[in-house]
Amino acid sequence: MPASYETRITRAILDAYHEKFVRSLVSDVLIVGAGPSGLRAALDLALKGRKVTLLEKRLSPGGGIWGGAMAMNEVVIQDEALSALDGIDVTPRPAGSGLHVLDAMGLASALCAKAVQSGVVVLNLILAEDLCVHDGRVGGVVANRTGVGERLPVDPVSFQASAVLDATGHEAALVHMLRRRGLLDRDGPPSEGPMDAVAGEESVVAGVAEVYPGLWISGMCVQVSQGGPRMGPIFGGMLLSGRRAADLIDRALVAG
Amino acid sequence: MPASYETRITRAILDAYHEKFVRSLVSDVLIVGAGPSGLRAALDLALKGRKVTLLEKRLSPGGGIWGGAMAMNEVVIQDEALSALDGIDVTPRPAGSGLHVLDAMGLASALCAKAVQSGVVVLNLILAEDLCVHDGRVGGVVANRTGVGERLPVDPVSFQASAVLDATGHEAALVHMLRRRGLLDRDGPPSEGPMDAVAGEESVVAGVAEVYPGLWISGMCVQVSQGGPRMGPIFGGMLLSGRRAADLIDRALVAG
Amino acid sequence: MPASYETRITRAILDAYHEKFVRSLVSDVLIVGAGPSGLRAALDLALKGRKVTLLEKRLSPGGGIWGGAMAMNEVVIQDEALSALDGIDVTPRPAGSGLHVLDAMGLASALCAKAVQSGVVVLNLILAEDLCVHDGRVGGVVANRTGVGERLPVDPVSFQASAVLDATGHEAALVHMLRRRGLLDRDGPPSEGPMDAVAGEESVVAGVAEVYPGLWISGMCVQVSQGGPRMGPIFGGMLLSGRRAADLIDRALVAG
Amino acid sequence: MPASYETRITRAILDAYHEKFVRSLVSDVLIVGAGPSGLRAALDLALKGRKVTLLEKRLSPGGGIWGGAMAMNEVVIQDEALSALDGIDVTPRPAGSGLHVLDAMGLASALCAKAVQSGVVVLNLILAEDLCVHDGRVGGVVANRTGVGERLPVDPVSFQASAVLDATGHEAALVHMLRRRGLLDRDGPPSEGPMDAVAGEESVVAGVAEVYPGLWISGMCVQVSQGGPRMGPIFGGMLLSGRRAADLIDRALVAG
Amino acid sequence: MPASYETRITRAILDAYHEKFVRSLVSDVLIVGAGPSGLRAALDLALKGRKVTLLEKRLSPGGGIWGGAMAMNEVVIQDEALSALDGIDVTPRPAGSGLHVLDAMGLASALCAKAVQSGVVVLNLILAEDLCVHDGRVGGVVANRTGVGERLPVDPVSFQASAVLDATGHEAALVHMLRRRGLLDRDGPPSEGPMDAVAGEESVVAGVAEVYPGLWISGMCVQVSQGGPRMGPIFGGMLLSGRRAADLIDRALVAG
Amino acid sequence: MPASYETRITRAILDAYHEKFVRSLVSDVLIVGAGPSGLRAALDLALKGRKVTLLEKRLSPGGGIWGGAMAMNEVVIQDEALSALDGIDVTPRPAGSGLHVLDAMGLASALCAKAVQSGVVVLNLILAEDLCVHDGRVGGVVANRTGVGERLPVDPVSFQASAVLDATGHEAALVHMLRRRGLLDRDGPPSEGPMDAVAGEESVVAGVAEVYPGLWISGMCVQVSQGGPRMGPIFGGMLLSGRRAADLIDRALVAG
Amino acid sequence: MPASYETRITRAILDAYHEKFVRSLVSDVLIVGAGPSGLRAALDLALKGRKVTLLEKRLSPGGGIWGGAMAMNEVVIQDEALSALDGIDVTPRPAGSGLHVLDAMGLASALCAKAVQSGVVVLNLILAEDLCVHDGRVGGVVANRTGVGERLPVDPVSFQASAVLDATGHEAALVHMLRRRGLLDRDGPPSEGPMDAVAGEESVVAGVAEVYPGLWISGMCVQVSQGGPRMGPIFGGMLLSGRRAADLIDRALVAG
Amino acid sequence: MPASYETRITRAILDAYHEKFVRSLVSDVLIVGAGPSGLRAALDLALKGRKVTLLEKRLSPGGGIWGGAMAMNEVVIQDEALSALDGIDVTPRPAGSGLHVLDAMGLASALCAKAVQSGVVVLNLILAEDLCVHDGRVGGVVANRTGVGERLPVDPVSFQASAVLDATGHEAALVHMLRRRGLLDRDGPPSEGPMDAVAGEESVVAGVAEVYPGLWISGMCVQVSQGGPRMGPIFGGMLLSGRRAADLIDRALVAG
């Protein structure tokens, strides 16, 4: 029986996705969470020539960017952080007081588009369930299809990487997987601090770090892990945090 | 009391969003649904100089593109439809049999990014609840915040436009608002037909039309309204359908 | 970086599943629903040398067998239907009045095990969403991952076959897809009739038929489609219905 | 295209709400929770000439007043607390034993009406998510639209004020935001004590205090924070607690 | 054992509510739905000396007023409808184009407060389940506690009145109770028409009527019952509709 | 291994329940619904020497009696219906106007206790799913455990009887099973009429009938099947309706 | 206007329930939970002449009796506990090994019927939310309508008594209200122990006690409070525990 | 009345299930959880002549096998573990690197089929709620119908055995029942460790043990109880763990 047009379409997708999925099993850097810091880190690492896989539990990437503040889809970037937009096709408009506004839809889509064009592999609807840890070093992430592992007794698969970046925001999902086992300080701060936008914009960048061999943090996950303050609907620090994570991870890989 | 840094950020967003929202109250074309045909139509109309507002009920635009087929995030475009990608920064890869595959994340984000860069105003988390009809002509859309009007007794607002495009896909939401009142044929087909990808790719383009004065249809909404066949995870027809809607609406506005 | 043990395990599964999935895209017979009649039909067709794919929306096959009656996990087979157990490794125990009882767990698992051993490909957690119809003939099934298409805007894929069997039981899912479009008599019986076990055991077998070119029915779907009576927790008719469907489809393929 | 009647209506609301929202970004006193103590405090502070913003997470203000006791919509005020009704257009009826009954609908609506007429800005469907803390002082509240931040990754905005009053009742929402971070005694009482109406009516007034620089408590939040007893469906203490909070905050602002 | 303070409080409420409830069993006019038209009708009828009972299924009265438009809590009144605010303590502000804006919190609370002060008895958390019809005339309403009758097999009680007003808005709950039985035209319009604010503001007032002996309609229920257009977030027509219902009912009672 | 105390307890229950269940498979009369009319009919039939099985889908029998009216647990009986309490150990108190009040808890429990003492077998948590119909006569009921058949693919069992009584109240569950198949007039009244307590108390008794060979109706099911009026929280008619059903069924069995 | 028949019925219920409710505000003994031990204690106390109020959160009393074991509605009583059935109209059947079986429906209804006939006031759909504690003594219970206080901000009422009995079973609801505040040992056993039917039947009786001035425990609440073992579906100990609680409370009231 | 065909079917099932259930009340070994290790242990113990009862809370046995990895229904077995498949009718295919792949549907069904054929009694839809503990030894399991005990106040029954095996996987349900009471070390590891497939495959076998007199653990429950690492979608260790549990338990029973 000759393959129908529908069969040929299905086959083309099956093959392309299988090839992409298999390719993503081993990466230089595996990033969990496609919000502002995760996407920016992925883009910068890809531009530096790293093989990057980005896992996102939702259907679409972009995280908190699309919603702006309180569902008003505009976001703010401060003067000092304009470099965070380098290479992304967006046009900030000055809003006084050293602030600039950007259309949230434009920022989220242009940032994601640039990352994919630069070679980042984004796998969506994939939920990180656990970490691989061998000999005291994080070597990968255990993941499942969103909606499958939470409601059915179905086993996950694993993704391997030289470095893993927890960019899951308020959840700090990977950090908590280690804390729960006492592999990271169980008595760390239980959450980020109250909002202090000035201090927060600084500490979210300064706090980027490798918190356990092989595991890095960026974005809101930094504040949650270290008790730094919340920042509000300004995205400069988030993006710069991702950039800094890319820099530090790249250097570590070179050194490694 | 001097405004704090957080207050200045909030104020910048409030003002920018208010200005954008007010501007969107009166448009040349109002499109409901930011899936492939809605986004493509919006982009083409903006490139033709039209003032376009695009309402999307979800947090992120892109509709069914992100998920590819069965959550394998790759999509297919046929040879004949490659022009549907004009002006969008994506790289289809040949897959044999006259088919090409594209990374779904790349297509969805690049299409949205290009639309916003071209001047389309996208308002997300806005749900169309009804139409404005004056003297036998659709003159706008009645809309509410997603999640508000469905669960609380809160009134909607209205958006005015010279032409309204129903790009809500399988829902055919605007078409059904008229059918429910008998303003469109109540005995029309209740849904799209079974899948026939060859026939479907043609009819989804050929069926673009003004179904009621002021109300146009594109994408899957065409098939649902006219009983055309389903098409499967191939996006050529969807994008071309949006392009054709843009052409026809633009000409009608010129003629109008 | 050498592939870790976890990566090699994941890779083995990815490749094996991809190969199986691709192979299942084109079958001789595509059966939807892995309950008693669907499993029995699949087993018989495989034994006749047919290439059979069986789609099941739940995690496990077996349908209503596991639960026996009212969650008492025993089932009944009548004398006249003992041949329905041919080739399945189970031991019915006489229960008087021409009836035999079987452990439900034993029947469900042995039937499925035998089908898989005979070459049937079972894909679980796959939900049939629609049919492919070309030129007035059913040529395949449109399907999605269970839980994906119902709650997210994600497109399905398609499975192609020379014959499709609706073994979805009370749902009669495929039959209703055609009825909804008026391709089958919209005024057919809305459901099976009240229970009449004697009459039902006969009509569920007698009513097996090709109801539309390329689409066959077996099991409870027969009763729903034709208004035959319900049968109760006796599985003879269900299994024989599957056997008869296998016979008739095989002959039609030979003739075809 | 001239603006339609619907557009002019929408525009009028957009402008009026934007103006009101912007105005509320910086207040003398920001009160969270429009129940009896929050509304009474807001009214008194407005009468003293303070600029007051009142955030309410529900659609309507009034909190527990509407439901009286066990959904019997009458409430009780004791002799000693009749002054709590000063300036509110209600008519208590003597009920013996030094008690008076009032129609609950009348009290809730008259109290809110008077507050708004006195200049209080009430923003409803706004949920406090966090606090702004600068240099050891609460300087504002982080808030989102009800239903948005809880179910979508959407950032909040912030409201700034010289003093913030936690009038969120049993939740003691703001107090818990500080406790969770260890900024207030983590070992404080976990909840209010058992009911003791006599003692409770006194302590709910006596316990009004500034519990952290810039953060005040009134109403049931006092009992929860300090382990005072529950009071039952008598509203004298609640209203007087709001009055006392208004007095103390006003004096602090004068002194501040 | 002497009654404790808590017991005396409980007793006072029990007695006051029992007295109010018993009093409400027989009214001149029974209004279902405490939204803008129901509250305004109740207020006017009470001012005319009628004994009015108002049943509201939610905890608080006010219906759609609190939410303004799209949760922006401002509402609009047109020049011609300013008389609809007579006797209510609110201050509309001119907004150009013959429109005025009002704080939604202020309008909802002042309207309810005035109604209660004028003698209207409001029973909240009471859901109308059915009508009493004797000899072809509506003579009362069958009602239950909200949340009780819907989930438990618990019988309702009945409220008797000379006239019943359906002010349940889009639900048109009482009208549908008669339609369901064929006591009102089953083929009436299934819902209100699309939005046309100019036409709608007129027809919502003009359409006030006694649709069945003893049963009147006002507000959105008029549009739903007669297929009139939706109106948008302008409340002039709604309030005037309530006023007209009060006038017509009062005259009918005089005549009756 | 000797049986433990717990094993002996479990064994005693298993055996007693099995014996009772088996015994109930064939009855003279099978009643579905243990509300007032079902319980009263069961009691009277048992007193007449009939073998009666009563299926109840909830955990406890009593139906709407426990809740009185609007969860006030008192019920009313009129003078003319006092005989409906014959043989039940309750004490009605005169309430004027020819009415008597009874404690709802007392009535529900005493009625059920008397039925069981008289030999009625009550099986609770059993949901009727369908009917057995042989040669145009209802011969039994198809039933499942509550909560099993609705959410899992598990087959039901069947109960056989000479007469079946639908006492399922507003649901009229058995009547609708026949209507759905067109075995009873599909165009019958869709529900009971509006409330008219005087007329309803009569018609609920007068309308008791065998609506299909082998299927009887009593209680609210009479009103729903015949469009008779609702009755309100007075239980005289309900109980008398059950008594009349018992009489008529008993006579039919004698004649049969 | 003369009161209609429906109005007179409603009025009779309102008055009867109001009188009963008011009467129940002050009792000798207030029992929370109408399961086997609560009902038996209530019955015995009423037979001793005490004024007893019994609060039950569900619609029907009987607790776990109706369901027997695993929804097989038979229960077991041991030889030594047959006296627990004194005065209840049931007929245990010997089941060997010193055990007797009883129809669960018969036991639950007869026990409740006897309690009501003996003067116990049962208020159903009433949920205990808290306790009244004055000067170190429990003096009553704070309660709300089931479903009201849990989902709406509605205040409860209070019930006063000389002694309060926690018969809420596994929940040990009242005990936990004191534990949560540290008024009872916070470090007590977190739950009952594993099942040991022999030991459990003894300790559930032996452990009946006044655990805080004014607060008594019986039934499973004893095991939960004291870490005694679970007992299984044998009801002798439960009923005897209720009897012992009645004895001890009665003596304490005499002594008190 | 002669028993109908439906009655005879129902009777046959009732009797067969009752006989099987009664027989299962006392076993040599009681296994909770019919996943890979539970099924394999059950099969081996039955082959050794032990009387085995297997309780499964879901409708179907097989646990996590059906879903393979991430719903790709293939599983992996390593060279060293091929003996784990002894006696099961499946055909592993070499996948390189010492790994073999198996069809998941085939493995799950063949394993269960073999267990039942070997005499294991599987009771499905039965949820373990607690343990029986007498004199410091686990002597059985307290269980209820799935869905019954969780939502209704219905008592469980008990199953007695010489040895109990906790094969409930990640839940470690029985282990937690003892931990909660402090009968097992409350400070044990809160969960399994991060994934390390090499180490995990060893420790899941090595850690099989009797953790409390009468209570054994196997499969993932070993890792959870002892903090061993997760293993990923490779089933060798799981099956071998079950085999080792069977060996050790059998020896203990011989020794016992």
- Contact C130/B at CB under 8 A: yes
d(CA H228, CA G215): 47
Chain F residues touching C69 at Cβ < 8 A: 154-157
d(CA H213, CA H38): 19
d(CA D24, CA D12): 18
Least CA distance to E110: which residue of chain D?
Answer: D113
Average pLDDT over residues E96-102: 95
- Contact F113/C at CB under 8 A: no
pLDDT at B10: 97
Chain H residues touching G230 at Cβ < 8 A: 130, 142
| pLDDT reading at C161 higher than 80 | yes
Nearest to C3 among A26, A125, A151 (CB): A26
- Contact G66/E at CB under 8 A: no
Chain F residues touching G69 at Cβ < 8 A: 9-10, 13
Q: How far is C249 from chain F (nearest CA, A)?
A: 27
Percent of chain F whose pLDDT exceeds 70: 99
**pLDDT-wise least confident of C135-139, G121-125, H230-234:** H230-234
d(CA E153, CA F33): 12
| pLDDT reading at B74 higher than 70 | yes
- Contact E22/G at CB under 8 A: yes
Average pLDDT over residues H154-177: 97
d(CA G183, CA D194): 10
| pLDDT reading at H179 higher than 70 | yes
pLDDT at G187: 67
pLDDT digit string (tens) for A193-222?
Answer: 999 999 999 999 999 999 999 999 999 999
d(CA A222, CA D65): 43
pLDDT digit string (tens) for E157-203?
Answer: 999 999 999 999 999 999 999 999 999 986 677 789 999 999 999 99
d(CA G155, CA E203): 42
pLDDT at C185: 80
pLDDT at H187: 67
CA A229, A230, A236, A238 torsion-angle sign: positive
In this complex, do C232 and F155 lie within 8 Å of one another by their Cβ atoms?
yes
Q: How far is G119 from chain H (nearest CA, A)?
A: 26
In this complex, do F180 and C194 lie within 8 Å of one another by their Cβ atoms?
no
- Contact E70/B at CB under 8 A: yes
Q: How far is CA D208 from CA D111, D166, D223, D243, E220, in A?
A: 21, 10, 9, 10, 46
pLDDT digit string (tens) for F95-137?
Answer: 998 999 999 999 999 999 999 999 999 999 999 999 999 999 9
Task: Write the burial class of residue B136 (CB in 10 Å: 0-12 exposed, 13-18 middle, 19+ buried).
Answer: exposed
- Contact B191/D at CB under 8 A: no
pLDDT digit string (tens) for H110-155?
Answer: 999 999 999 999 999 999 999 999 999 999 999 999 999 999 999 9
Percent of chain F whose pLDDT exceeds 90: 94
CB pairs A-C closer than 8 Å: 87
Question: Nearest-CA neighbor of F13 among H26, G72, G80?
Answer: G72
The SS3 of residue G46 is helix
pLDDT at A232: 82
Bridge partners, F93 (sequence order): F101
pLDDT at D2: 93
- Contact D38/G at CB under 8 A: no
The SS3 of residue B46 is helix
| pLDDT reading at F186 higher than 80 | no
DSSP collapsed to 3 states, chain A:
CCCCHHHHHHHHHHHHHHHHHHHCCEEEEEEECCCHHHHHHHHHHHHCCCCEEEEECCCCCCHHHCCCECCECEEEEEHHHHHHHCCCCCCCEECCCCEEEEEHHHHHHHHHHHHHHCCCEEEECEEEEEEEEECCEEEEEEEEECCCCCCCCCECEEEEEEEEEECCHHHCHHHHHHHHCCCCCCCCCCCCEEECHHHHHHHHHHCCEEEECCEEECCHHHHHHHCCEECCCECHHHHHHHHHHHHHHHHHHHHC
H-helix or E-strand spanning residue H52: strand H52-56
Q: Which two tokens stand for residue F137?
A: 């006569």
Is residue B190 very low, low, confident or very high in pLDDT (cuts 50, 70, 90)? confident
d(CA C120, CA C42): 6
- Contact E89/D at CB under 8 A: yes
In this complex, do D70 and G131 lie within 8 Å of one another by their Cβ atoms?
no
Percent of chain G whose pLDDT exceeds 90: 93
DSSP class of residue F156? -
pLDDT at C1: 84
Chain H residues touching G191 at Cβ < 8 A: 180-181
In this complex, do B26 and D3 lie within 8 Å of one another by their Cβ atoms?
yes
Chain D residues touching B153 at Cβ < 8 A: 59
Is residue G186 very low, low, confident or very high in pLDDT (cuts 50, 70, 90)? low
- Contact H20/C at CB under 8 A: yes
d(CA E200, CA E198): 5
Q: What are phi and psi of F209, to 5 degrees?
A: -165, 165
Which chains are adjacent to chain G, needing at least 3 Cβ pairs under 8 Å?
A: D, E, F, H
Nearest to B153 among E67, E190, E198 (CB): E67
In this complex, do F26 and H3 lie within 8 Å of one another by their Cβ atoms?
yes
Is residue B186 very low, low, confident or very high in pLDDT (cuts 50, 70, 90)? low
Least CA distance to A199: which residue of chain D?
Answer: D134
Percent of chain B whose pLDDT exceeds 70: 99
Cβ proximity of H133 and H217 under 8 Å: no
Q: How far is E58 from chain G (nearest CA, A)?
A: 10
Q: Which two tokens stand for residue G121?
A: 């006031």
Its ipTM equals 0.96
Give exposure, C73-107, as e/b (b: 16+ Cβ within 10 Å): bbbbbbeebeebbeebbbebeebeeebbbbbbbbb
* Side chain identity, residue E116: V
pLDDT at B39: 98
Question: Nearest-CA neighbor of H20 among C92, F14, C78, G68?
Answer: F14
Q: How far is E131 from chain D (nearest CA, A)?
A: 23
- Contact E25/F at CB under 8 A: no
- Contact A4/C at CB under 8 A: yes
Q: How far is F242 from chain H (nearest CA, A)?
A: 25
Is residue C220 very low, low, confident or very high in pLDDT (cuts 50, 70, 90)? very high
Least CA distance to A88: which residue of chain B?
Answer: B113
Task: Write the burial class of residue A256 (CB in 10 Å: 0-12 exposed, 13-18 middle, 19+ buried).
Answer: exposed
CB pairs A-D closer than 8 Å: 70
Least CA distance to F157: which residue of chain C?
Answer: C69
CB-facing half-sphere around the CA of G176: CA atoms within 13 A: 14
Least CA distance to E69: which residue of chain B?
Answer: B155
Q: How far is CA G231 from CA D3, E53, F7, G197, in A?
A: 76, 54, 12, 4
Chain D interface mutation, best of G155, G159, G183, highest count of D Cβ atoms under 10 Å: G155
| Angle at alpha carbon of residue E126, lines to E125 and E129, rounded to 5° | 140
DSSP collapsed to 3 states, C107-163:
HHHHHHHHHHHCCCEEEECEEEEEEEEECCEEEEEEEEECCCCCCCCCECEEEEEEE
Bridge partners, H178 (sequence order): none
CA B176, B181, B183, B184 torsion-angle sign: positive
Give exposure, B143-168, as e/b (b: 16+ Cβ within 10 Å): bbbbbbbeebbbbbbbbbbbbbbbbb
| Phi-psi label, residue F119: left if phi above 0, alpha if psi -120 to 50, beta otherwise | left
pLDDT at B185: 80
Q: How far is G217 from chain D (nearest CA, A)?
A: 18
Least CA distance to E141: which residue of chain F?
Answer: F195
Question: Nearest-CA neighbor of G217 among G248, G196, G187?
Answer: G248
pLDDT digit string (tens) for G116-149?
Answer: 999 999 999 999 999 999 999 999 999 999 999 9
Nearest to E71 among B131, B145, B158 (CB): B145
| pLDDT reading at H226 higher than 70 | yes
Chain D residues touching B11 at Cβ < 8 A: 22, 25
Average pLDDT over residues D100-124: 98
pLDDT at B187: 67
pLDDT digit string (tens) for H2-19?
Answer: 999 999 999 999 999 999
| pLDDT reading at G77 higher than 80 | yes
Is residue G242 very low, low, confident or very high in pLDDT (cuts 50, 70, 90)? very high
In this complex, do A70 and D154 lie within 8 Å of one another by their Cβ atoms?
yes
Which chains are adjacent to chain F, needing at least 3 Cβ pairs under 8 Å?
A: C, E, G, H
Q: Distance from first CA to last CA of chain F, Å, rounded?
A: 54
Percent of chain C whose pLDDT exceeds 70: 99
Q: How far is F56 from chain H (nearest CA, A)?
A: 15
Least CA distance to E12: which residue of chain D?
Answer: D95
Q: What are phi and psi of D39, to 5 degrees?
A: -65, -45
pLDDT at E186: 63
Q: Which two tokens stand for residue C62?
A: 């077996």
| pLDDT reading at A34 higher than 80 | yes
CB pairs A-H closer than 8 Å: 70
Q: How far is CA A74 from CA B165, C126, F58, in A?
A: 25, 40, 53
Cβ proximity of D226 and D194 under 8 Å: no
Q: Which of residues 149-178 of G touch F (CB under 8 A)?
A: none
| pLDDT reading at G190 higher than 80 | no
Give exposure, F184-218, as e/b (b: 16+ Cβ within 10 Å): beeeeeebbbbbbbebbbbbbbebbbbbbebbbbb
